[in-house]
Structure 1
């Protein structure tokens, strides 16, 4: 019997890294993807490499996402048990002070990145008897947060996408859910701070 598999974006830090550690301990085959491959190698240096595959990945590039997903799933009998979309960026600052490029990049990574990975993973999720998509949303998806306008908008979109896919993919036996972590007081009080993980 083959081990279950999980593919995690934004896996070099934060929730993505914590999830990777957990699933490795549970015996899953874990695909860890991040924009920063050297960070992935550093944080997994002391891990048993038998059950992990590391990938440099820009979730905004659909062709690259497809290639990486195909490679990982080929190692797992063309199946995927779990897709965890943890990649995302956060820029704090007044709406008018952020460049148009910054606003669009937030949407591109946080929303289009998830669309890309979901589309690339779907054939493998459908090929697995029970599978799950977990999208990283935020408490700011419930109410827009000042100085996080674009980020809040991106997480509203993630929440809407998740709710739609939960219904649409149910006939295939694919469960879809999102996680809404709270922003810390420390994070919200740090003007113009940029946090990036993907």
Structure 2
């Protein structure tokens, strides 16, 4: 079974325990929380040792911290990070400013997993003050659009191998006012990421 991981920061997280896992189509996707972005590199290095074949980083990392993870991993596996298109730049800036101001924010992660059932394959975690962190496994872009249309959140991030048009379609499905990010790869990871997607075994 092939394995990929999504790394995201949550204050006080324990990477050994704070995990969400989905399986389908011979593939396992594990979401791993780290206490902060600077703690990600050693965690990712350990996961590579466990057989993980691809890493995706939450949008909170930014290029500087993502570069630290890439440097730690070297050329062993591809590492990608969430990026936001022009249609979401103003919205994601507002999200981060309100987050820094301590305002309540809810987030939705959509993870592409073959054969997933979005009604069953979802984890909702309350974060205090009414904020929610919702992770939903979806089998395809159509299901991602349906879930996005139903949720009221401050941002949406797409993981697991969505195509180039996915962010635009989900952005429209969510009403056009929610920032939507998807994973992009630097030139050092493009070929390896493509090979993993073509033959994840």
The TM-score by the shorter chain falls in which range?
0.3 to 0.5
Between the two structures, name the one with larger relative contact order (CA 8 Å, sep ≥ 6): 1
Larger relative helix fraction: 1
Give the TM-score normalised by structure 1.
0.36
Q: Which structure has the greater CA radius of gyration? A: 1
